[in-house]
Amino acid sequence: MAKRTIVPIGPYHPLLEEPEFFKLYCDGEIVKEVVWETGYNHRGIEKICESKTFEQVFYVVERVCGICSTSHPFAYANAVESIPGVEIPLRAKYIRSIVGELERVHSHLLWVGLAGHFLGYNTVFMWAWKYREPVLDMFEIITGNRNSYAMFTIGGVRRDIDNDKISQLKKVLDFLKTKLDLLVGAVMDDPVIHARLRGVGVLTAEDIHDFGAVGPTARASGVAIDVRQDDPYAAYDMVDWKVITAPEGDVFAKAEVRLLEMYESIKIMEQCLEGLRKDSSNEIRTKVKEIPAGIGIGHAEAPRGEVFHFVKSDGSNRPVRHKIRAPSFTCIPTFRKSCVGGTIADAAIATAAVDPCYCCTERMAQAYDIHTGRQIFSMKDLIGMSQRKTEELKK
């Protein structure tokens, strides 16, 4: 076997906003194998959630990811509300969908910018992020925050969108559409981008099923999975929209899916705003007295794919167990397929193409005492603890 060089991407690398380590085993410029190391970022979110009340957990899970900071509350709300079987008011459904779709637009614009940056196309980076600004401003109008919106609560939402804001939002959406046309034209018609992204990091529909990849990664390979369509929540079954897919499975298809999805998001938001205007009630929240004992499962379509939350309640005011699965968890392993066989340049953009969110996915493996450097818990101890706890819960 020829001698292979290990080209490191990470733990600190301009390609990754987060600490994560990919070892590319290269033969010249060709990547032969990819090995990744995780565990640079443990935050113990699931554990923290167990010490908070059901209402407080919203503000914890929204910090799982700074970019999809509504998907996690969304999935968590679906999970918690499924325990007592609460039906939320119509108005809250619309508002939830609007916030969810706004987040999708801002996240996809962010991705387009970053992808441009990774390709050395900084103009696209700056332009995409410039047009992301009005979206963030809209968040500020609706929720009071540009990020981490604190909008959701059990049984509904915390703030209403009144008619005044509706017309304001519509204006911004119209502006955004013209700017999107410009950006989409610049990206889709550029021959150099075509040359750079076509046929790179190809994932077939079969690979998607094998790895269980979700979201735009799957849709770009022609697999039309979308939680919003497959298991509609909030207002998604009340509005007209379609799932965007592309058959090619390469990086360009992923970019295409994301760009076209933004138009769908705007379409959904426009219909939701119309629905809000027609709805005369101003009830935005169903009162939920208590969460009975039981388990709740909720999922939501984050910009990156399906977010999954599992909540177990014992009838007290705190979750006994809260399990979160971020979409990157299933998307990151696809690198084994998409990066191998390409060059280093291909690998860089192929890893970025699934829009990975490492810190959301990271889970704890070991614990050390910070002062003595002594190991407190090993992976085995932790698994043992977890199993013992599960046993206790089963009793």
Partner 1 sequence: MGKEIFYFLIFPGLLFSAVIGGFLSWVDRKITARVQFRKGPPLLQPLYDFLKLLLKETIIPVRGSVFTFLVSPVLALFGATISAVFILLPLFHIETGFAGDLIVVIYLLNIPSLTYIIGAAASGNPLASVGASREMKMILSYEVPLLLVIVSVIIKAGMTISLTEIIAAQAAGGAFIGSISGVIAFLVAIFCIQAKLALVPFDIPEAEGEICDGVAIEYSGSSLALIKLTKYIMLFIVPSFVVLLLLGGFSFKGIDILWSVLKLLVIILLLTLIRNTNPRVKIDQAMKFFWIWMNLLAVIAVVLSILGL
Q: Does 341 bind partner 1 (CB under 8 A)?
A: no
Q: Does 193 bind partner 1 (CB under 8 A)?
A: yes
Q: Does 121 bind partner 1 (CB under 8 A)?
A: yes
Q: Does 15 bind partner 1 (CB under 8 A)?
A: yes
| Residue of 104, 106, 108, 117 that binds partner 1 (CB under 8 A) | 117
Beta strands in the chain (DSSP E): 5-9, 21-27, 30-37, 152-153, 156-157, 294-302, 305-313, 319-325, 367-368, 375-377
The terminus-to-terminus CA distance of the chain in angstroms comes to 55
> Closest CB to partner 1 among 2 and 370?
2
Minimum distance from CB of 343 to partner 1 (Å)?
A: 6
> Closest CB to partner 1 among 223 and 255?
255
Number of residues that bind partner 1 (CB under 8 A): 34
**Among all chains, which residue has been given the structure tokens 């205007």?**
277
Q: Which stretch binds partner 1 (CB under 8 A): 5-13, 55-63, 71-79, 385-393?
A: 5-13
Q: What is the DSSP string of 341-384?
A: TSBHHHHHHHHHHT---HHHH-----EE-TTT--EEE-HHHHHH
Contacting partner 1 within 20-79 (CB under 8 A)? 26, 28-29
The C-alpha angle with vertex 109 and arms to 326 and 339, in degrees rounded to 5, equals 60
Q: Does 5 bind partner 1 (CB under 8 A)?
A: yes
Return the number of other C-beta atoms located less than 10 Å from residue 10's C-beta.
Answer: 18
Q: Does 312 bind partner 1 (CB under 8 A)?
A: no
Find out whether 351 and 35 touch, Cβ atoms under 8 Å.
no
Q: Which stretch binds partner 1 (CB under 8 A): 103-111, 134-142, 189-197, 369-377?
A: 189-197
Q: Does 108 bind partner 1 (CB under 8 A)?
A: no
Phi, psi of 96 (to 5 degrees): -60, -45
Find out whether 266 and 104 touch, Cβ atoms under 8 Å.
no
Q: Does 344 bind partner 1 (CB under 8 A)?
A: yes
Smallest CA-to-CA distance from 352 within 188, 119, 29 is with 119
| Residue of 140, 174, 182, 195 that binds partner 1 (CB under 8 A) | 195
Find out whether 251 and 233 touch, Cβ atoms under 8 Å.
no
Smallest CA-to-CA distance from 179 within 139, 128, 108 is with 128
Contacting partner 1 within 124-153 (CB under 8 A)? 124-127, 130
- Name the 3-class secondary structure at 300: strand
Q: Does 188 bind partner 1 (CB under 8 A)?
A: no
Minimum distance from CB of 353 to partner 1 (Å)?
A: 13
What does the block give as tokens for 83?
């325990």
Minimum distance from CB of 188 to partner 1 (Å)?
A: 13
Give the x-and-dash track for 246-265 against partner 1 (CB under 8 A). Answer: --------------------
| Residue of 20, 264, 346, 355 that binds partner 1 (CB under 8 A) | 346
Residue ranges binding partner 1 (CB under 8 A): 5-8, 13-15, 26, 28-29, 116-127, 130, 190, 192-193, 195-196, 343-346, 348, 352
